[in-house]
Structure 1
Amino acid sequence: MFTALAATDLTLQAGDIFGLIGPSGAGKSTLLRLINLLERPDTGQVVVDGQILTQLSAPALRRARQNIGMISQQFNLLANRSVADNVAFPLEIAGWPAAERAARVAECLALVGLSDRASPIPPTAAAAAIGSAGHHAAAAVRAGGPVPRYRARWP
């Protein structure tokens, strides 16, 4: 039997931002897919914020995932939206009022140092200068809900 990930115990505090690094095949993606239960472990359990995710119903698991943010380097911005609009997109879908959405977008852009780059449409030369930070600001909101309590990034 192939073991994709050996027994692992990972403890994070609410609001922690962490990254996983390692060689290809080390289990980074598998670990993160297990944390948000996109993959189920063969044995053991996944506990996040005191909830045993492996025991939750589908609706309860969807709610729990809103507190777990995942950001992949392969994340893409929507080409027809500005950087700020990309960050706002999941909040629009979630039905956030415009004023709250604008405040959260500003917070995320400030987090990655892009407050002054909110307007460019991604394919433009100006937007290209933002690099992956724009992706991560948008993904910070998209990753697991509007305000995830736990955030992770993997290559």
Structure 2
Amino acid sequence: METYVIFVNDTAHAMNQVIPLLEDSQPAQWVLVGCPPRFHRHSSKWLTQRALKKYKTEWTDLNLKDIVQLLKERGNSVVTRVAQAPLIEVTKALKSEFANSRVVDARKTHAFENLSPVVEQQKMEVNSWIVPVGAIAFGTAATLVVD
């Protein structure tokens, strides 16, 4: 039985990645790894580790619900996990647990965000708009001050 490990941070985007994999395929085992959004440093300092872990678990359950339902309707076996560690470590642990698995990065890149790689060989796109937007904002502010 083939095993797919899918990393998800946006349900609709991940669904568009999963549906083509379901076409003409035998029932397989699917491991869905939820990658909840990170809290900013200042907001997370007010929460306990237990509360952060609970938030990540609830976020994963809520956002993977539709994908899990779709996969189970087609006779697939589904396991859900939460990314609690750096993604390269999570991938290594899952590859040791599920031998011969295919890793699919179905995460959506949001504006001004650089995603961490899922495997060591993965080359990530660097968001080049971070500096130009800052330069534009600085130029706009300088123009307003001069006027």
Q: TM-score range by the shorter chain?
A: under 0.3
Larger relative contact order (C-alpha < 8 A, sep ≥ 6)?
1
- Per residue, is there more strand in 1 or in 2? 2
Taking structure 1 as the reference length, the TM-score comes to: 0.21
- Per residue, is there more helix in 1 or in 2? 2
Q: Which has the larger radius of gyration?
A: 2
